[in-house]
Amino acid sequence: MATDNLSHYDKNTVPSAKTFRFGIVVSEWNNDITDNLHQGALETLVDCGADKKNIISWTVPGSFELVYGCKKMITTQKVDAIIAIGNVIQGETKHFDFVCQGVTQGIVDLNTKYDVPVVFCVLTDNTKQQSIDRSGGKLGNKGVECAIAAVKMAALNSSVISAVEIGF
């Protein structure tokens, strides 16, 4: 169980997001949860210096479709990092397991195939209350944490590309 507040970050340890373009792909399923995660991510990116016009948000029907949405964003938009936002809550069938495994492996595959970091912001909780607690509730907002990860990964990718360009 998470014990830290997912919304806490030290702005002094986060690179500026001013020069980066971000993509966010959001599942419409459990939209009360995913909308909160999306809002947390947007506010955090802007707080870290991103220009609102440099943040592209798309929706897809469910968490399983996040992989395709992220792939399309990578191949059609110039973005420095993408946040994949979804929510899957355990039910009475194995559907939960298949969706979680598929979206997780799909995002891993995107990260190994393409040179754009895709950050996993998919809550995979046992109960609706756990999702509420992690999307702006008592444990903070996972969207904030993932936005910080996206900024750091965009900066890492940029510094690696710069180092290669100057011959390191």
- The pLDDT of residue 100 is 86
Task: Look at residue 3 and tell me if it is in a domain.
Answer: no
CATH of the domain at 83: 3.40.50.960
- Structural domain total, the chain: 1
Give the tokens for residue 10: 């030290």
- The pLDDT of residue 117 is 98
The mean of the pLDDT values for the chain is: 91
3-state secondary structure the chain: CCCCCCCCCCHHHCCCCCCCCEEEEEECCCHHHHHHHHHHHHHHHHHCCCCHHHEEEEEECCHHHHHHHHHHHHHHCCCCEEEEEEEEECCCCCHHHHHHHHHHHHHHHHHHHCCCCEEEEEEEECCHHHHHHHEEECCEEHHHHHHHHHHHHHHHHHHHHHHHHCCC
Task: Look at residue 6 and tell me if it is in a domain.
Answer: no
Above pLDDT 70, what percent of the chain? 92
Residue 3's pLDDT band (cuts 50, 70, 90): low
Residue 17's pLDDT band (cuts 50, 70, 90): very high
Angle at 132 between CA 39 and CA 50, to 5 degrees: 20
Q: How many CB atoms lie within 10 A of CB 152?
A: 18
Residue 160's pLDDT band (cuts 50, 70, 90): low
CB-CB contact of 63 with 107 (8 Å): no
What's the rounded Cα separation, in Å, for the pair 70 and 66?
Answer: 6
Task: Look at residue 49 and tell me if it is in a domain.
Answer: yes
Task: Look at residue 1 and tell me if it is in a domain.
Answer: no
Q: Give yes or no: 8 in active site.
A: no
Strand partners, 155: none
Output the pTM of the full model. 0.91
CB-CB contact of 1 with 58 (8 Å): no
Task: Look at residue 115 and tell me if it is in a domain.
Answer: yes
Given a cut of 80, is residue 1 above it in pLDDT? no
Range of the domain at 88: 17-165
- The pLDDT of residue 95 is 85
Task: Look at residue 5 and tell me if it is in a domain.
Answer: no
- The pLDDT of residue 164 is 46
- How confident is the model over 45-97, as pLDDT tens digits? 999 999 999 999 999 999 999 999 999 999 999 999 999 999 999 988 888 88
Per annotation, catalytic residue among 95, 97, 98, 108: 95
